[in-house]
Amino acid sequence: MPISCHIQFVTALEKTKILVKLSPDDVCVAADGIKIDCGLNIRHVNVEPGIVLLETAPIALSQNYELEIPGVGKHRVDLGPLLDELYSEKPLGATFESGKTIFRVFAPRAKKIVLALFDKVDLKKIRRVPMRCDEDGVWEVSIVGDLAGAHYGYEVVGPGEYAEHVPPVPFVADPYAKAVSSKNDYLHESKSIIVKTDHYDWQGDTPLQVPPEDLIIYEAHVRDMTMHPSSGVRNKGTYAGFVEKGGLGGFSHICELGVNAVELLPCQHFAKIEPPYHKETGRTRNSWNPYVRNHWGYMTSHFFAPEPYYAEGGHMRAGEIIGASGEQIREFKDMVKALHQAGIAVIMDVVYNHVSNYDLNPLKYLDKTYYFRLNDAQAFLTESGCGNDFKTERKMARRLIVDSVKYWLEEFHIDGLRFDLAAMLDWVTIEQITLAARKINPDVTLIAEPWGGGKYDLASFSERGWLAWNDLFRNGVKGRDPVSAKGLIFGHYYGSDNWDSSRFYVRGSRRVDGGPFEHAHHSLNYLESHDGYTLGDFIRIGMGAVRRDEPVVDLLSNAKLTDEQLRFNKFSALFLLTSQGVVMLHQGQEFARSKVIAESSAQDPHAGRLDHDSYEKDNETNWLNFAHKELNRELFDYYRGLISLRKRFAALRKIDGDKIVFLHSHVAMTIGFHLPKEASGDAVDLVVLLNANRHESANFELPHGVWRKVVDADRAGIAPFGENLQGAVVTPPGSGLVLICPANS
């Protein structure tokens, strides 16, 4: 036997069959002496070159095993194939059946689970009830009576050996809990709340069923929209405040702008507090975040429960408990209902590719090996960038995701979901989400962030009927970097772009034009999102008004757009809102919000600089200052006018790209196109003229007819203005026009 012989892997093929793969492939080992620890009896050994096949006594999933071959070495037995086959259709969580409260939780490798019940007053443990496990890994117990309102958790005894690396805890919450109370510290010690959700009066509310091509989405953070004093909202930072009427922020602002959908940054219960900065905790050392906060919410803790921090009474007082009343469920529903009454659809940003890597997330303690992608040393994989990639391909992990999606659609009437780092979800899970969601709402909006974990795939989401964030449009029109990789709005071509790329973006980045999307309405076009610099700051840096490595000296002067900055922002808005595909704006984009890092107790050495990653700041860095809206009212009105125009004329959002007639100009960096009424069903023809050249005016020959402006460099809307135009028209540098013609004869 060669000295270099080693064990490649050891896998349990069946409950009584284990495969050992050796290297090199032609090596043979002696059958004698092979053993497996923990008393697993080997009944038969079959040795072949490079392979050993063992027949054993039945394998216990609750046990970790290690195989040893004398003279070769030891290796952990991978129980993955056995876990992959487990599945149950039983209702999970706390349910009510025939006068009983039933508790069920899936934890196939646990050795013991005890249900812990708590009273409603001080949340002290009042009862412990052992649970029993069925053959599919579901632990369950039934208790006579209706326990609605009580709190509960699970005491879990798991395998615990062989580098599980999860310290034991007294109890964990139920991953299927519909509401959760949690303590304000980085562990987020949580208790599940037994709730009944069938008493809410929806007053006839249903999802709005907005066709995707008609969507104009506003990406917003519940708290940011009303927290700044300028918002004029009483219930600041809450679900109720988001839809409170009469203020300047939140609901009033969104309605004034005229969008027909909001995309809410994560509202599933998440880990808001990160570990103490540069202090040893015995679990995770926070070397990255002096704010010790996770403000955006991309650290999900509970997939079914609304975040209580945004409910009435939500706060961050250290060590205190929030969410114990469960009222966050009603308040979230109130918000959705109010938005629907205003004709605004609700899309929710959800995170299923990973969970929080520092809190007491129940999935890590119920069964780390089952629910997460691990390396050979049983450590969490980090392709998500967050230290624990969710194993979506496991059947019961997949079921949890699909059940969560169904629950939010059915229980909260949301109109759609945006999936964070969606490329990390396996395709079977994606397809099951699609089927389940469309069964509930055939018009549901499903949006992918089509990258993550080293993968990038816009086309495959389009093939499944999903919308996807179109970074090709973002980078081509705006640029990837405001200094080294500028786009069309600066008079540059990004990367391999050229004049034809402009046509490609205008048509919706369709596959027939060489793009990734089967249909233009699968392309979610955007120039700003929560990630990266705001569009306003991208332009400030790109024009040299601010250096990204230097602090802003005068906040007011920085916020107020210069005439040239205003032209850049208007041109960007015009390109975005006249292109085929779905439009998304980010909060504050419509008045060129600047994210300057605010002075705070965190003593951020970068305070005063423009922020491109403000995920951790629950302060004026992120809160929308509506006084700045008034500073840049002209830009806001321009966006509002373009939104009205897009909503009025179908040609701007759902014309067949092949029917778009492109107009020629001899000036570089220009694009013009004619949208015939015969192709759109509108009562008028439209022409859009875009001149990205920063130095020369562009002369466009107009189609036959008498034309009038509805958009120029100064104003935008649906009412024609100015003189009649025929023959040719001049478009000044860095600006655009939209013209209408009632008849073409």
Tokens at residue 230, please? 């300028």
Share of the chain above pLDDT 70, in %: 97
- Measured in residues, the chain has a length of 745
Whether 675 and 589 share a structural domain: no
DSSP 75: E
Tell me the per-residue pLDDT of 155-191, one tens digit each, with 9 for 90 and over: 998 775 444 545 678 889 999 999 999 999 999 999 9
Residue type, 13: L
How would residue 727 be classed by pLDDT, with cut points 50, 70 and 90?
Answer: very high
| Predicted local distance difference test score (pLDDT) of residue 121 | 57
Nearest residue to 91 (alpha-carbon basis) of 349, 406, 384, 360: 406
In this structure, is residue 123 part of a structural domain? no
- Report pLDDT digits (tens) over 45-88: 999 999 999 999 999 999 989 999 999 999 999 999 999 999 99
> What is the model's pLDDT at position 306?
98
Q: Quick one: average pLDDT of 136-162?
A: 88
143 CB-contact burial (10 Å; exposed 0-12 / middle 13-18 / buried 19+): middle
For residue 22, the SS3 value is: strand
550 and 679 in a single domain? The answer is no
Check pLDDT > 60 for residue 2: no
Whether residues 464 and 563 share a domain: the answer is: yes
The dihedral built from the CA positions of residue 230, 234, 235 and 240, taken in this order, carries a sign that is negative
Provide the strand spans (E) within 16-99.
Answer: 17-23, 35-36, 42-48, 51-56, 66-69, 73-76, 93-97
What total of structural domains would you count in the chain? 3
The enclosing domain of 49 has a CATH number of: 2.60.40.1130
Can you read off the two tokens belonging to residue 733?
């540098």
H/E segment holding residue 8: strand 6-14
14: left (phi over 0), alpha (psi -120 to 50) or beta: beta
Which residues, 6 or more positions from 221, have their beta carbon under 8 angstroms from its beta carbon? 264, 265, 295, 296, 530, 587, 622
Least confident of 214-228, 339-353, 493-507, 603-617: 493-507
Q: What is the dihedral of CA 595, 601, 605, 607, to 10 degrees?
A: 20
Whether residues 615 and 667 share a domain: the answer is no
**One domain, residues 681 and 732:** yes
443 confidence band (pLDDT: 50, 70, 90): very high
H/E/C letters for each residue in 165-208? CCCCCCCECCCCCCEEEEECCCCCCEEEECCCCCCCCCCCCCCC
Domain boundary among 611, 645, 679: 645
Sign of the four-CA dihedral 597, 603, 606, 607 = positive
- Distance, in Å, from the CA atom of 574 to the CA atom of 583, rounded to the nearest integer, reads 11
Give per-residue pLDDT as tens, 108-134: 999 999 999 997 756 677 799 999 999
Could you report the per-residue pLDDT of 295-312, keeping only the tens digit for each?
Answer: 999 999 999 999 999 999
pLDDT at 249: 97
Rounded average pLDDT over 580-603: 95
Q: Which of 732, 550, 542, 716 is nearest to 634 (CA)?
A: 716
Residue 31 lies in a domain: yes
Query: What's the pLDDT band for 602 if we cut at 50, 70, 90?
Result: confident
Q: Is the pLDDT of residue 429 over 50?
A: yes
Whole-angstrom CA distances from 336 to 199, 221, 241 are 16, 14, 12
Identify whether 43 is part of a domain.
yes
What mean pLDDT is predicted for residues 370-391?
91
Dihedral sign computed on CA atoms, order 170, 175, 180, 183:
positive
In a domain, 680, yes or no: yes
Checking if the pLDDT of 743 tops 70, the result is: no
CB 733 within 8 Å of CB 695: yes
Q: How many CA atoms lie within 13 A of 433 on its CB side?
A: 31
pLDDT tier, 255 (very low <50, low <70, confident <90, very high otherwise):
very high
Query: Contact at 8 Å (CB) between 63 and 57?
Result: no
Side chain identity, residue 158? G
What local confidence, expressed as pLDDT, does residue 729 receive?
97
Instruction: Please give the structure tokens belonging to residue 199.
Output: 């008493």
Residue 532 has pLDDT above 80, yes or no: yes
The pLDDT value given to residue 501: 78
Q: Where are the beta strands (DSSP E) in 510-636?
A: 523-526, 582-586
| 517 and 578 belong to one structural domain | yes
**617 lies in the same domain as 735:** no
Q: Are residue 709 and residue 570 in the same domain, yes or no?
A: no
pLDDT at 163: 41
Which phi and psi angles does 443 have, rounded to 5°? Answer: -100, 15
Task: Identify whether residues 624 and 721 lie together within a single domain.
Answer: no
- Kindly tell me if the per-residue pLDDT of 589 is higher than 80: yes
- What is the C-alpha to C-alpha distance for residues 400 and 432, in angstroms, rounded to an integer? 11
User: Are residues 344 and 380 in contact, defined by beta-carbon separation less than 8 angstroms?
Assistant: no
Question: Which pLDDT score, from 0 to 100, does residue 217 have?
Answer: 98
pLDDT at residue 1, rounded to an integer: 46
- Using DSSP's 3-state secondary structure scheme, residue 478 falls into coil
Same-domain check for residues 545 and 467: yes
Q: What is the CATH number of the domain that holds 677?
A: 2.60.40.1180
Residue 737 pLDDT level (bands cut at 50, 70, 90): very high
CA-to-CA separations, 633 to 246, 576, 626, in angstroms, rounded: 19, 19, 10
Task: Write out the E strands in 449-607.
Answer: 451-452, 455-456, 467-469, 479-481, 485-486, 523-526, 582-586
**Cis before 732? omega within 30:** no
47: containing domain? 6-84
Q: Which residues pair with 78 in a beta bridge?
A: 11
Is residue 57 assigned to a domain? yes
Q: Report how far residue 483's alpha carbon sits from residue 278's, in angstroms, rounded to the nearest whole number.
A: 33
**Confidence (pLDDT) at 3:** 56
Q: Is residue 446 part of a domain?
A: yes
* CA dihedral angle for residue 291, residue 292, residue 296, residue 301, rounded to 10 degrees: 180
Regarding beta strands 451-452 and 455-456, do their DSSP bridges make them parallel or antiparallel, or are they unpaired? antiparallel
- Is the same domain home to 665 and 586? no
Alpha-helical runs (H) found in 9-84: 80-84
Predicted local confidence at residue 162, as pLDDT: 40
> Which run of H or E residues covers position 674?
strand 670-675
Domain contains 435:
yes
pLDDT at 402 over 60: yes
Q: Which helix (H) or strand (E) holds 447?
A: strand 445-448
Contacts 24+ apart (CB under 8 A), 213-216: 213/520, 213/521, 213/582, 213/653, 213/654, 214/260, 214/647, 214/653, 214/654, 215/260, 215/261, 215/345, 215/445, 215/582, 215/583, 216/258, 216/259, 216/260, 216/261, 216/583, 216/585, 216/643, 216/646, 216/647
Same domain, 510 and 603: yes
Q: How far apart are CA 555 and CA 72, in angstroms?
A: 68
What's the whole-number mean pLDDT along residues 329-356?
97
Question: Which of 487-496, 560-569, 684-693 shows the lowest mean pLDDT across its residues?
Answer: 487-496
**H-type helices in 155-313, by residue range?**
239-242, 251-257
- Write down which residue in 57, 84, 111 finishes a domain: 84
Say if 246 falls within a structural domain: no
Identify the domain boundary among 583, 614, 645: 645
Using alpha carbons, list the distances in angstroms from residue 608 to 28, 277, 294, 394, 615: 67, 21, 20, 46, 16
Report the C-alpha dihedral over residues 305, 307, 312, 318, rounded to 10 degrees: 120
The mean predicted confidence, pLDDT, of the chain is: 94
For residue range 357-372, what is the model confidence (pLDDT) as tens digits? 889 999 998 999 999 9
Average pLDDT estimate for 484-507: 86
